[in-house]
Amino acid sequence: MRMIRDFFKKKRTNEKLDNFIQKYNIPRSYLSTTRRNVARAMFIGMFIGLIPMPGHMLAVIALMPFARFNVPIALTMVWVANPFTIPIIYYIEYKTGALFLGMHMIQPAHMGAEWFIKNLEHIFVPLYVGTAFYSLVISSLLYYVINFLWTRSVNRARNQNKQNEETI
């Protein structure tokens, strides 16, 4: 479990990255790999990535002035919903929203962009109800899992250091 924290620790120092940050005057907090910044980034990226809308990456960038999080990680997380997974994710969100609202589902002949656009007026509300549910639940769960794993990793490292010091 030390792997999460150690991975980010190794990535902290990079001369090219430091030069890039200085050249474009980028606040360090947007690249910080603290537990909170990484967990927030994963929450924001996953939350936005599950919303059916164009411009996921622009939405993450628009949130930069309002929250402190690791922007590259958040941008990476939005790609969970990629061209291969979007039809599956949106169909599950639509199906869940229809179930929550007690609506009859429109059975897709094939779940593609053409069907989606043609039936948007009928699936819009159940799709976004399902989206709200999954975005909140999955991103919140991911946030707490990252916090738990990170904290556990730190505690294990401390315990291991204490054991090493006692044996010396």
On whether residue 65 sits in a domain, the answer given is: yes
Percent of the chain at pLDDT above 90?
47
pLDDT at 30: 86
Domain total for the chain?
A: 1
To which residue do tokens 């969100």 refer?
A: 93
pLDDT tens-place string over residues 51-89: 998 899 999 999 998 999 999 999 999 998 888 888 889
On whether residue 82 sits in a domain, the answer given is: yes
On whether residue 164 sits in a domain, the answer given is: no
State the sign of the Cα–Cα–Cα–Cα dihedral 3, 21, 61, 66: positive
Is the separation of the CB atoms in 91 and 81 below 8 Å?
no
Show the domain range for 74.
2-157
On whether residue 166 sits in a domain, the answer given is: no
pLDDT tens-place string over residues 140-153: 999 999 999 999 98
According to DSSP, residue 79 is labeled: G
CA distances from 17 to 35, 67, 118, 139 (A): 20, 22, 46, 28
pLDDT tens-place string over residues 13-30: 678 877 877 887 878 778
Element (H, E) at 101: helix 86-101
On whether residue 162 sits in a domain, the answer given is: no
